Structure 1
Amino acid sequence: MVQRNLGAVHVAALLVSASYGVAFLLGSGEMAVHTGMVGSLYAIVTALGMVALALAAPTLWRGRELIWDAFGERYGPAVRKLVALLSLVWMSGVLAAQIHGGIAVLVAVGLPATDALVVVAAALLVMSSVELGMAAMLFAFCLLATNIALLHALIQSNGLSVYLHAWPSFIHGIGNAPPAETVVNTAAIGFLVVTGSDYQQFVIAACRPRDAWLGCALASIFLTVTGFVPAATVVAALHAGKLFGMTDAATAIPWIMLQTGGGMGLLFIGVILLAAVGSGTAVTRAMACAVEGLRPVAGRHGHAPRILIIAMGCAIASDGQAIVSTIISLNIVYVAAIGLLFVLHETGRQVAPRCAPLMILSGAATALTVTGARCAGVSSLPVWLPLPAGLAASACVLAAWHVELVRRRARSSNRPLL
């Protein structure tokens, strides 16, 4: 049974810690090196997703059910296990991004990549055992210190004007980006904010419904205010020539901290690393919960599930993708699998329990197949294609099921009476 002992500030701090990790900081900075203020897309979409989560928070709090439990209650144990398994898929991408970024931070200060991987993995294992309330306060302090460090770097690079004009620059950049890719990326990020168990766990653990929705609202405000800071800092540093000689875009933020922090540079790096580990810790907890959903006895094996989860994240982190791309590519598989079923579920439309798992499997398999074909270079498929292809496959299964149902009813009505 979930302990309901989190106040609104605790909920907000934990929601932000689940967002304000490597993808928010280093991922935004990495994207900003190539796309300017559009690099803030992950942060801004997450902030907007928190608004939607706030609207759903009272219902979620009263139900006390993570998404796989809600689906399992309506569609059966097979669907429950499928959704829990797919949750592990997308969360493994988020965890891998945190590990990837943590390695980038340590490499920026001279630690070999292999040693950095071991340090980040060990830190995640230790921090995932910390009590939630204590973790919330620790990460809140780290987030505050991180923003102070980024603001200091922004001012040192004469970048306040870049931040003040962030919204117009962001909107202009989004307008010039490929529309289909922007829509898919937005859906892949925003859908997971509302349905992701790493966020839902903190809403359910709130003391009261008021603490649940207020915590979401506070998190949204914080993310909106700070969302442009990493990208603005990188853009200002680029204009000031402070990223000259940098070889890996993922190290842009740590590089800037070392360039502008003076004697405090290493301290700033440590704070950023701890904030990133906080994000990975929230995801590790949620993944352990998903493992228990797949096999309830897993909770009896102590730290074993968390060790396996962190090992899987480390393996994915070595795939060579950009930080945000790692998250989005696996998010898409999850959204393609359950997106249509989720919409039908929320609107009260009936789906046969035997049809639901087929919809999930077809959507996931199609998205994975298209993604694999694109990554393998089989054909020049667009990067946004896996999501609509998976949703279309899921819709085709639903349509075929209804056609077959109509045929069965027609045959039944045409049978002669005895």
Structure 2
Amino acid sequence: MAQRNLGAVRVAALLVSASYGVAFLLGSGEMAVHAGMAGSLYAIVTALGILALGLAAPTLWRGRQLIWDVFGERYGPAVRKLVALLSLVWMSGVLAAQIHGGIAVLVAVGLPATHALALIAAALLVMSSVELGMAAMLFAFCLMGTNIALLHALIQSNGLSVYLHAWPSFFREIGNAPPAETVVTIAAIGFLVVTGSDYQQFVITARRPRDAWLGCALASVFLMVTGFLPAATVVAALHAGRLFGLMDAASAVPWIMLQTGGGMGPLCIGAILLAALGSGTAVTRAMACALEGLRPVAGRHGHASRILIIAIGCAIASDGQAIVTTIVSLNVVYVAAIGLLFVLHETGRQVAPRCAPLMMLSGAATSLTVTAVRCTGVSSIPVWLPLPAGLAASACVLVAWRVELLRRRAQS
């Protein structure tokens, strides 16, 4: 774990960089093409999740333990490694989304997709080695430039009123969306923000507890203010007819930047790309930490580990799903596996150490199976089903374990 030397502003900048990446910026824009201001769902849930993380920040800072360490102390080394492995699963989806969006940015400026993939992978490898404090300042400047460019594009499309009325439009359009899908998306994103190691790592490396919770508060406010900008810009551009000829919804935001930026267009694209890479950098670091937890000797070969991690992200990025969908689909596996166990742990309920890994494996396996069946098209399974199915399987294991325990006590 890095030294505790981050002030509140740097903690906030790094938390924002872990959020304000491809899913926040391009993913929100991609969703807005089809769902209007409801496309800001990822951004708003992330902001609220970071605010909740701030409430737990002092405890996290004092414990100086990521979630797999906490579970490892309570349930044993097998559970610790299993949580780290499952963390690699959901973080792979996040990293893949960053790579997918980075490719969309470069393709929008005319680079072939294969060349764009190689360039994004190389950039992530380089930036994942940058010192955290320096990275915080770099991403802060890029984010400032990105938001200025988005605001300029919004004004050019006469869309300022769209942004000012964002909250009412957001609630209205969320209300029109399928409720079950919305609830699953909120759970999949919010749970990972609070418990994800890519966010917790910055809280733990704060200089003081005050810097930890204040950094969370600053990041949440920033994301609340800027969270509607991507979707509002896309909605305004749609109304102004600026997205005519757009082939890929993921490229909506860079497409708008190139159209409205004039000579500043390439500079705006560069700022967006660097801001997006900030999220990929944070996830790559967290995945390397999880991999080290699974196999401690991996820490001696950090460079090779990061190459492997980025290669996995590149492979998943070719799945053809929407950016936010890629993240949510793998987040769900993680939440289904440890969600019930986490709630029981936080409420002080006792779970036998031998039962805990069975609950996790059952939840993950069930969620993955339902997802696989849905993706194959064999059955018309709802997109929201993998999460409740996995949680139900985990609960069934717990109930069966306790029934068996009661039976044995009755016999003795």
Matched, 1:191 2:191: yes
- The whole-number CA distance in structure 2 between the counterparts of 1:51 and 1:311 is 32
Q: Which amino acid aligns with 2:67?
A: I
**Native 8 Å contact 2:96 2:316 kept in 1:** yes
CA deviations 1:251-280 (Å, max 9, x no partner) are 000000000000000110011001111110
- 2:222 corresponding residue in structure 1: 222
- 1:39 corresponding residue in structure 2: 39
- Secondary structure of the corresponding residue to residue 81 of structure 2: helix
Matched, 1:85 2:85: yes
- The whole-number CA distance in structure 1 between the counterparts of 2:337 and 2:378 is 23
Alignment of 1:208-247 (within 5 A): 208-247=208-247
Q: Which amino acid aligns with 1:287?
A: M
- The whole-number CA distance in structure 2 between the counterparts of 1:188 and 1:290 is 20
**Native 8 Å contact 2:288 2:302 kept in 1:** no
- The whole-number CA distance in structure 1 between the counterparts of 2:363 and 2:378 is 20
- The whole-number CA distance in structure 2 between the counterparts of 1:183 and 1:257 is 32
Alignment of 1:170-181 (within 5 A): 170-181=170-181
**Gap regions ≥5 residues in structure 2:** none
- 1:121 corresponding residue in structure 2: 121
- 2:167 corresponding residue in structure 1: 167
CA deviations 1:361-406 (Å, max 9, x no partner) are 0000000000000000010000000000000000000000000000
- The whole-number CA distance in structure 1 between the counterparts of 2:362 and 2:60 is 28
Alignment of 1:91-170 (within 5 A): 91-170=91-170
- 1:290 corresponding residue in structure 2: 290
- 1:306 corresponding residue in structure 2: 306
- The whole-number CA distance in structure 2 between the counterparts of 1:42 and 1:121 is 24
Deviation beyond 6 Å, 4+ runs, structure 1: none
- 1:348 corresponding residue in structure 2: 348
Of all paired residues, the percent bearing the same amino acid is 88
Q: Which amino acid aligns with 2:80?
A: R
Paired residues, number: 412
Matched, 1:320 2:308: no
- Offset of residue 301 of structure 1: 1.2
- Secondary structure of the corresponding residue to residue 141 of structure 1: helix
- The whole-number CA distance in structure 2 between the counterparts of 1:279 and 1:408 is 50
- Offset of residue 146 of structure 1: 0.3
Matched, 1:333 2:318: no
- The whole-number CA distance in structure 1 between the counterparts of 2:149 and 2:301 is 40
Q: Alignment RMSD, CA only? A: 0.5
- The whole-number CA distance in structure 2 between the counterparts of 1:394 and 1:52 is 25
- The whole-number CA distance in structure 2 between the counterparts of 1:24 and 1:52 is 18
CA deviations 1:257-311 (Å, max 9, x no partner) are 0000000001100110011111100000000000001011101113000000000
- The whole-number CA distance in structure 1 between the counterparts of 2:223 and 2:2 is 26
Q: Which amino acid aligns with 2:394?
A: S
Q: Which amino acid aligns with 1:270?
A: G
- 2:410 corresponding residue in structure 1: 410
- 2:205 corresponding residue in structure 1: 205
- Offset of residue 2 of structure 1: 3.1
- Offset of residue 16 of structure 1: 0.4
- 1:55 corresponding residue in structure 2: 55
- The whole-number CA distance in structure 2 between the counterparts of 1:191 and 1:3 is 26
- 2:2 corresponding residue in structure 1: 2
- Secondary structure of the corresponding residue to residue 319 of structure 2: coil
- 1:262 corresponding residue in structure 2: 262
**Native 8 Å contact 2:359 2:398 kept in 1:** yes
CA deviations 1:211-255 (Å, max 9, x no partner) are 000000000000000000000000000000000000000000000
- 1:415 corresponding residue in structure 2: none
- 1:380 corresponding residue in structure 2: 380
- The whole-number CA distance in structure 1 between the counterparts of 2:325 and 2:379 is 19
- 2:389 corresponding residue in structure 1: 389
- 1:416 corresponding residue in structure 2: none
Q: Which amino acid aligns with 2:373?
A: A
- Offset of residue 327 of structure 1: 0.2
- Secondary structure of the corresponding residue to residue 358 of structure 1: helix
- Offset of residue 51 of structure 1: 1.1
**Gap regions ≥5 residues in structure 1:** 413-418
CA deviations 1:39-96 (Å, max 9, x no partner) are 0000000000011100000000000000000000000000000000000000000000
- Secondary structure of the corresponding residue to residue 373 of structure 2: helix
- The whole-number CA distance in structure 2 between the counterparts of 1:166 and 1:265 is 26
- The whole-number CA distance in structure 2 between the counterparts of 1:273 and 1:92 is 19
Alignment of 1:3-22 (within 5 A): 3-22=3-22
- The whole-number CA distance in structure 2 between the counterparts of 1:243 and 1:175 is 26
Q: Which amino acid aligns with 1:120?
A: I
Q: Which amino acid aligns with 1:331?
A: N
